[in-house]
Structure formats: structure tokens, C-alpha cells
Structure 1
Amino acid sequence: MDALGIDLSRLLTFLVGFTVIAVFLRMFLYGPITRMLDQRAERIQESLEAADRASAEAASSAERVEQELANARRAGQSLIAEAREAASRLKDQEAERTRAQVDEMLDRAREEIRREREAAVEEVRREFAGIAILAAERIVEQSLDEDSHRELIDRVLEEGLDARNN
């Protein structure tokens, strides 16, 4: 081996040194490094599982939120429908109350017109009775007492009104 330029003692020394270093590295560095890599792989796996769980929870939460939004929409729609119904009922009640007030006002106005008409008719009767008495006094040239004239005129007017109404 001398011809190749290899010194056996040196080769043996290198081999022993390499073996010692390899054993030393295997004992003190390879074990801790592999443990550290295994731990890191476990942490990564746990992180991936946690991310999957978080993703599933987020999807579940999103689904719950969608359900709650749908429920809120339905509740809002029912509240709107109830409010519309209440407004319609209130409108109908107000319209009915207004109609009743208008009817009452019309009844009062009719009654007042009837009373004023009766008062006007009575006033015309009185004036006509006075005129008729004066005319009768001049025609007959005698004076009947005023009460008997009024009684006669009232009776004639009532008979005339009754005949007119029938």
C-alpha cells in the first residue's frame, strides 16, 4: 500500500477517528436532533389538527350565524306584518270613529234645522195670524177678541198643513 501512497497507520488512525466521531455524533447529536425534528413534526401535526378544528368550528359558527340571521329575518318580517295589521286596524278604527262623529254632527245639524224650521213656521203663523186678525177685523168691522181669532186661525192652518202633508 506504500506504492499507492497510503500509509496504513494513518488510514487506521483516520478510520478510528472517523468511527469515534460518528459514534460521538450519533450519541450526542443525532438523537437530540431527531427528537427535536420529531417534536417539531408533532407540533406541526397538532397545529394542522387545531387549524382543521378551528375551520370546522368557523364553518359551524357561520352556519349558526346564517340560521340566526334567517330567524331574525323571519322575526322581522312577522313584526312588520303585525305592525301593518295594527296600522290597518287603527286606520279602520279611526275611519269608523270619524264616520260616527260625522253622523252625529249630521244628526245634530238636522235636528237644529228642524227646530229652526219649526220656529220659523211658528213665527210665520204668528205674523200671519196677526195679519189675518187685522184683515178679518176690517172685513167684518167688528172686533172679535184676539184669542178666539188666533184659535180659529191656528185651527185653519193646522187643517191646511194636515191636508198638505197627506
Structure 2
Amino acid sequence: MEKLAELGINIPSFIAQVVNFGLLLGLLYLFAYKPILAKLDERSARIKESMERTDQVKEQAQRAEEEFKKKIGEASQQGQLVIERAVKTGDEIRQKAIEEARAEAEAMLSRARTEIRQERDEVVDQLRKEFAELTILAAGKVIDQSLDKKAHQALIDSVLESSTNLRKN
């Protein structure tokens, strides 16, 4: 102890200081260190929770982006289908219009042929009548007598009919 005194260390004061330091360390441990550690642990937990939420938000954003891309792809496919259907419908309408125009043209051509036949038949009948009248008139002048018009007309009609039948066969 004397050696300690030579060094300038007072033992009772040293013991009091060690006891005071121990008490201060105990009090700081109880009142400061534990609350500070609790706050640090709480902050660490909040940071960890925040990081987890950030990861969840990133995952949700990625899923939403994938779903968005998927929906855009589906919409694009549906749009293509709509376009294809519209083109197909347009082609069908165009084809139907062409067919209707052909049918109408054929019907008009058929009507025109029928009208031409009717007009030709009427002209032929009229020519027969005129020919018959001219023949009767000529025969009457040649014979210089009046012939029975009805009898000669019947004779000429039968000759013309037989000549027409011969020409058709």
C-alpha cells in the first residue's frame, strides 16, 4: 500500500471512485443502455419491415407489369382477330356483291333475249301477214278475179307454218 501511496493513489478515494464508477455503470446500463438498445432494436425492426414491404411492393409491381403485358398481348390478339373478321366480312360482302351483280346482269341479259325473241316473232308475224296480203293481192291481180280472202289466208298460213317448221328442224 505504501507503494500505491508513493504513486499518488489514495486507496479510500480509489475505492470510492471504483464504487462510484460501478454504480454509474449500473445506472447507465439500466436507464440508458437498455432503452437505447430497445430503440435501436425497434428501429432495426422498422427498417427490416420497411425493406420487406419494399420487396413486396416490388413483387406486386412486377406482377402488375406482367399482368399488364399479358393483357396487352391478349388485347392485341383480340384486335388481330377483329381485324381478320372484318377483312373476312369485307371479302364476303364484296364476293356477295359481285355474285349479285352477275345474277342481275344474267337476268337482264335473259330479259333482253326474251324481248328480242318476242319482237322478232312479232316482226315475223307481221311480215307473214303483209306477205299474205301481198300474195293475195298479187294473185288476185294475176287471175284478175276476186279470191276468197279467208281461204287464201288459211292456205298461206299453213304453207308458212310448214316452211317455218321445216326451217326449225
- TM > 0.5: yes
SS at match of 1:143: coil
Structure 1 residue 147, shift from structure 2 partner = 0.9
Structure 1 length-normalised TM: 0.79
Q: Tell me the amino acid that sits aligned with residue 101 of structure 2.
A: T
Number of matched pairs:
166
Deviations 1:1-23 (A, max 9, x none): 99999888877776665554443
More displaced 10-residue stretch of structure 1: 45-54 or 76-85: 76-85
What are the ranges of 5 or more consecutive residues in structure 2 without an aligned counterpart?
none
Indicate yes or no: 2:36 matched with 1:30. no
Map 1:13-162 to 2 at 5 A: 19-162=22-165
SS at match of 2:145: coil
Deviations 1:81-120 (A, max 9, x none): 2332233233323322332222222212211111111111
Cα distance in structure 2, aligned partners of 1:135 and 1:36: 144
Seq. identity, %: 37
Structure 1 residue 46, shift from structure 2 partner = 0.8
Q: Tell me the amino acid that sits aligned with residue 150 of structure 1.
A: Q
Structure 1 residue 40, shift from structure 2 partner = 0.5
Q: Tell me the amino acid that sits aligned with residue 105 of structure 1.
A: M
Structure 2 length-normalised TM: 0.78
What are the ranges of 5 or more consecutive residues in structure 1 without an aligned counterpart?
none
Deviations 1:42-71 (A, max 9, x none): 110111111112212221222222222222
Q: Tell me the amino acid that sits aligned with residue 74 of structure 2.
A: N
Q: Tell me the amino acid that sits aligned with residue 55 of structure 1.
A: K
